Structure 1
């Protein structure tokens, strides 16, 4: 460490990082790319050893993304260190492609060069030249992949815009409980069972899916994992909400999206609840109902050939004034069914729901026929 602090390069690196953090003209991914370039340069020019460079890289990106972030609400919402680490790891792996940079840095290592030379009998100079070329190409490819932003998520500031209607203001007592209960029955029967968790990656959810009396073995777990990749029934209401309010684009990248849903349904929603409790908001005991309220104002549905960006675009902004029949139709369109919903099939989509909540079939058909005549 004495060598590290006696070397002016260390302080130059720190100064460069601070300058990059404060340079407002650059987008976040451009700032990250410059940090990558600085780190790769340190390794390529052998200014520091590989371990030190990677340590610098992780430290500087963590400081930038979690401590000195331009995302002003993040420090207030996400306060637990384990959640900060999870957020950091997701961002640098899936959005900022750090593995490409780490591998390119590793290829500049003297030890890697010597090992390949000794193992295969190649000239040390030749091996060094080839690895430097490969490392440079891999670094450039990693930067291109990062800058292309095939998958991008919103900042906490942007996500919080979906919660502009404060939990303090929701007229819970005026909303028919059947509306929320119907949504739960149609989309996620585990919703009220899961008192402490928010996604399918939890014992509460798995026990419900397997049934408490069922013995869980390897084959059933394997089948469960495969099913979660494809079946909507394995996406909890919270996961559906997070992908709607949190993903800017890259929805078609299924694996990355699922990982995002699992991680951020925990990181963000648990942190938000803690934030409300800490700041003594009213109605915090109805947090789960509040998430359902936000869900209705953000998640899309499709009825017939018409797409509604938000459920409330169909049922109306004042949820307390909505009819159960309108909600039934809107909830039936959440899966974007094929064939599309129409007056012929609407009564058979969820017959048990119609019976359980004593919905008017005549009213449902009248609403559908009015839509078809528009």
Structure 2
């Protein structure tokens, strides 16, 4: 009886081993994800190092004809989506990005902008391209090109020239200044009016967070068409559309709304000069990030959530940089209380409206262009706020007298 039980035990063990062997030998997808999870959970590796190992693994499997190109891209896409959206250690992302479409957009943007997923796809496709044999040894040439694409992909992934902050890092400033603790008073209203009059006149009326609002785009195109002279109507429309597209990525224009300016200050850790990636980031994430925060406030029934748009401007004053003469201030309020060894103690309530106006002009590097001759021209755009032109001009004249020593503005 004992012998029979022992035999059945070892037969069962052998049967289980056979099944496991069959699983690992025949189910390449299971083996692949088992290996990817093992790589991703290895704590000594940085995220970009893990991505590089995954790329090398998939490329090797394709080169050895173990998997096809379509399956390789599908496995890569699925594994990267899991790593960025499911297995991520960024807990704040789970709270802000709950919409499945937003998760897909986030995965696609990070994959292509930060981890050169497009280059990886090109490297894989080069291994399987079939063209007429008009060039001797064309297969070898394509393999060399594929290898070069692979090298470029790995280099871009490991160099990390364009890097985004995590959602947790982006959200940190909102925990420093919670909406239910903000004083939404007349002084803040005036500061908001100055900023939106200079930077984003349609801020309160616009429902969207970026310029991708049909009403906003139509207004821009109408203005451009009205400014066209001596052209036929159809030509005017095409010319206006062409100028609009080019201006989106123009450094001096760009149609950046206040939320777009804020999200780039919050989100871009490295690579600000990559203007196409940056502009796409501003357009996509200004909606996804701020919509997510707005939803969280509503779900938690947080006090003063009805002032959310003003709240974003308040955060803007604590985060977005400005320029006065040759000086660059990492955040707006540093122009009023320059501190290196301790926390800035001034808030927007402590700043004069004239100083706020100058700092807002500095956002587009126009602060030291203000003179007594043109001050009225600049002030005419400010709505609902009284400003003293003499105080503004006097402050502009003196703001660079004591660089890096005390306050630049009052």
Name the structure 1 match of 2:385: 357
Bigger Cα displacement from structure 2, 74-83 vs 358-367? 358-367
- Aligned pairs (5 A) from 1:274-289: 274-289=295-310
SS in 2 for 1:373: coil
Partner residue of 1:58 out of 77, 80, 96: 77
**Within 1, Cα distance between the matches of 2:326 and 2:374?**
14
Post-superposition shift, 1:6? Answer: 6.8
**Within 2, Cα distance between the matches of 1:293 and 1:108?**
53
Is 1:154 the equivalent of 2:154?
A: no
Bigger Cα displacement from structure 2, 22-31 vs 168-177? 168-177
Name the structure 2 match of 1:10: 29
Name the structure 2 match of 1:90: 109
**Within 2, Cα distance between the matches of 1:179 and 1:209?**
26
Partner residue of 1:171 out of 183, 192, 208: 183
Post-superposition shift, 1:262? Answer: 0.8
Bigger Cα displacement from structure 2, 354-363 vs 202-211? 354-363
Is 1:301 the equivalent of 2:314?
A: no
Answer yes or no: is the 8 Å Cα contact 1:303–1:333 preserved in 2: yes
- Aligned pairs (5 A) from 1:210-289: 210-211=221-222, 217-230=237-250, 231-232=252-253, 234-289=255-310
Partner residue of 1:328 out of 357, 374, 383: 357
Name the structure 1 match of 2:13: none
Bigger Cα displacement from structure 2, 312-321 vs 30-39? 312-321
- Any stretches of 5+ residues in structure 2 without a counterpart? 1-21, 227-232, 338-345, 403-410
- Aligned pairs (5 A) from 1:310-325: 310-315=331-336, 317-325=346-354
Answer yes or no: is the 8 Å Cα contact 1:190–1:208 preserved in 2: no
Post-superposition shift, 1:318? Answer: 2.0
Post-superposition shift, 1:46? Answer: 1.0
Q: Which runs of 4+ in 1 moved over 6 A?
A: 3-6, 212-216
Post-superposition shift, 1:347? Answer: 2.8
Per-residue CA deviation, residues 55-103 of structure 1 (Å, 9 max, x unaligned), is 1110000000111112121111111011111111111111111111111
Partner residue of 2:65 out of 33, 46, 61: 46
Name the structure 2 match of 1:183: 195
Name the structure 2 match of 1:371: 399
**Within 1, Cα distance between the matches of 2:198 and 2:356?**
11
Answer yes or no: is the 8 Å Cα contact 1:39–1:53 preserved in 2: yes
Name the structure 2 match of 1:192: 204
Name the structure 1 match of 2:148: 137
Bigger Cα displacement from structure 2, 213-222 vs 320-329? 213-222
**Within 2, Cα distance between the matches of 1:233 and 1:286?**
27
Post-superposition shift, 1:108? Answer: 2.3
**Within 1, Cα distance between the matches of 2:320 and 2:134?**
61
Post-superposition shift, 1:180? Answer: 0.3
Post-superposition shift, 1:127? Answer: 4.5
**Within 2, Cα distance between the matches of 1:156 and 1:346?**
42
Answer yes or no: is the 8 Å Cα contact 2:197–2:382 preserved in 1: no
- Aligned pairs (5 A) from 1:16-31: 16-31=35-50
Answer yes or no: is the 8 Å Cα contact 1:304–1:342 preserved in 2: no
Partner residue of 1:120 out of 105, 130, 133: 133
Post-superposition shift, 1:306? Answer: 2.5
Answer yes or no: is the 8 Å Cα contact 1:303–1:342 preserved in 2: no
Q: Kindly tell me: are residues 105 and 363 of structure 1, through their superposed partners in 2, closer, same or farther at Cα, counting changes over 3 Å? A: same
Per-residue CA deviation, residues 230-270 of structure 1 (Å, 9 max, x unaligned), is 24361111111111111112111221111111111112111
- Any stretches of 5+ residues in structure 1 without a counterpart? none
